[in-house]
Amino acid sequence: MLVASCGGGGGGDSSAPPPPAPAATAYQNSVLLGDTTAVSLSIMPATTTSNASLASPIAAPFVVAGNNALASLYRPSSYAGAGIACVSAPTNSIGTVVNVNAGVNIKSVAALLNAGWSLVPNATATWSTFGASAKVFDGWENCGAKAEGSPSPASTLTVNADGSFSDNVFDGNPSTTVRIVDQAFSATQASAMLSDAGLADTSQPNAPQTIRLHIYQNAANQTVLVEQAIPASGASTDHPGYVAIYFAR
């Protein structure tokens, strides 16, 4: 019996379809560096060939309207929907403290907050409850980047019973070498920061700025603080202000 056979054939197109693009994560109530209004931002996760990126509808210092490559991103798993995004840019300051963490070239450009986070209705009353329990927050400005060791909190903020607070900055990494720069802010200064007008800060003569401190909570009653400084008239263009996020312990 004659058995007919087919040729080997080429097997058709063996190229596999490209993998789907990773989904972006939306942060609808975010705060951009240099902007006082809530902005809806998105984070595109890192791939094997690229860093994570930030998509912004508007331009801001170190940010263009569109996609922006990120140098670092901090989003603690215990605080779903919150974090901070940082780009590659020279910086040597944490809040109002200058000349710290020499050699670090990472600048925070956005405090990330999704739709689950909202401003508390009465910031002054909420702040008072923090003082009653001496509430402590860990600050993650500039994604906690350090010249020594892996990222770690940039500062520790403690609210006092009288409404004043300390925000002590780590110059270096607590796991290696660190110098702690102690800062104290009076109850009057804290009250101004919590207000819409903010606190006029002239501690850096070439960088006058207005500092605002906002309190956000989610449905799980978790708390984060967002502190931002907006340059005042006459500030050097080398000082674009700052944005920092603090997570309650």
Residue 105 lies in a domain: yes
The domain total for the chain is 1
Which tokens go with 111? 């405090």
Domain residues for the domain of 169 are 25-248
Residue 11 lies in a domain: no
* Whether pLDDT at 13 is above 80: no
The amino acid at 230: I
Instruction: Tell me what the mean pLDDT of segment 74-103 comes to.
Output: 95
Please report the pLDDT score of residue 16 as a whole number.
67
CA geometry: angle 200, 202, 203, nearest 5 deg? 125
In angstroms, the Cα distances linking 36 to 122, 168, 174, 215, 234 are 18, 25, 32, 14, 19
Q: Poorest-confidence range of 56-60, 202-206, 214-218?
A: 202-206
Residue 212 lies in a domain: yes
Residue 4 lies in a domain: no
Residue 6 lies in a domain: no
